[in-house]
Structure 1
């Protein structure tokens, strides 16, 4: 039962992270095409940055506690990057510099999305592998 709870929680956290990053990307693309002003865009992006960092930390912690070392080690670089940004106080988007850093902000989030998709696929493969081990 604990394994089923782990997989459900893991998939919910990954999908939540993907939704948060997708929301940030949509806001940045809207800013790029002038559909939204810089203040609204950065304030909305900044509202979901800390929840994203918290979800990533919870995801890593759950994998560590559950003993899923491979997924934990793969998700650790993204957590390290988030912690490093937070410590340097570079995690929030600045309204005065958003146009200068727009490409970097989009690339950063696209890399995180790609990283999460890889983790999601590996989680599905790990789930299938654990289910086939229980059958045999």
Structure 2
């Protein structure tokens, strides 16, 4: 039963991260096409940055505790990047520099989405692997 709860929580965390990053990408694209002003866009993006970092930390901690080392090691670089950006105080987008850094911000989030899709793929593979495991107790 614990394994099922682990997989459900893993999928929920990954999907939540994908939704948060998709929301940030939509806001940045709306800013690029001038559908939203820079202040509203950056304030909305900055509002979901810390929950994104926290959910990624919970995801890594959950994999560490559950003993799924491979998924933990795949997720660790993204967590390291988030922590280093937080320590340097560069995790928020600045309203005065958003237009000059717009392409970088979009690419950064697209890279995170691709990373999460890889994590989701390996989570599904690990789920199938654990379900087909034929250990005799």
1:81 aligned residue: 81
Pairwise CA RMSD: 1.1
Which residue does 1:65 correspond to in 2?
65
For structure 1, which runs of at least 5 residues remain unmatched after alignment?
A: none
Q: Matched residue pairs, number?
A: 136
**1:134, 1:56 → 2: CA distance?**
31
Paired residue secondary structure (1:99): coil
Task: Give me the TM-score of the superposition, normalised by structure 2.
Answer: 0.97
Superposition deviation, residue 102 in structure 1: 0.2
SS at match of 2:77: helix
CA apart distance, 1:135: 8.3
SS in 2 for 1:133: coil
CA distances 1:15-38 after superposition (whole Å, capped 9, x unpaired): 000000000000000000000000
TM-score (norm 1): 0.98
Is 1:16–2:16 an aligned residue pair?
yes
Q: Deviations over 1:31-81 (max 9, x none)?
A: 000000000000000000000000000000000000000000000000000
- 1:104-115 paired onto structure 2 within 5 Å: 104-115=104-115
Alpha-carbon distance between aligned partners in 2 of 1:108 and 1:10, rounded to the nearest angstrom: 23
Instruction: Provide structure 2 residue ranges, at least 5 long, that are not aligned to the other structure.
Output: none
The residue that corresponds to 1:120 in the other structure is 120
Q: Which runs of 4+ in 1 moved over 6 A?
A: none
2-structure distance, mates of 1:18, 1:31: 20
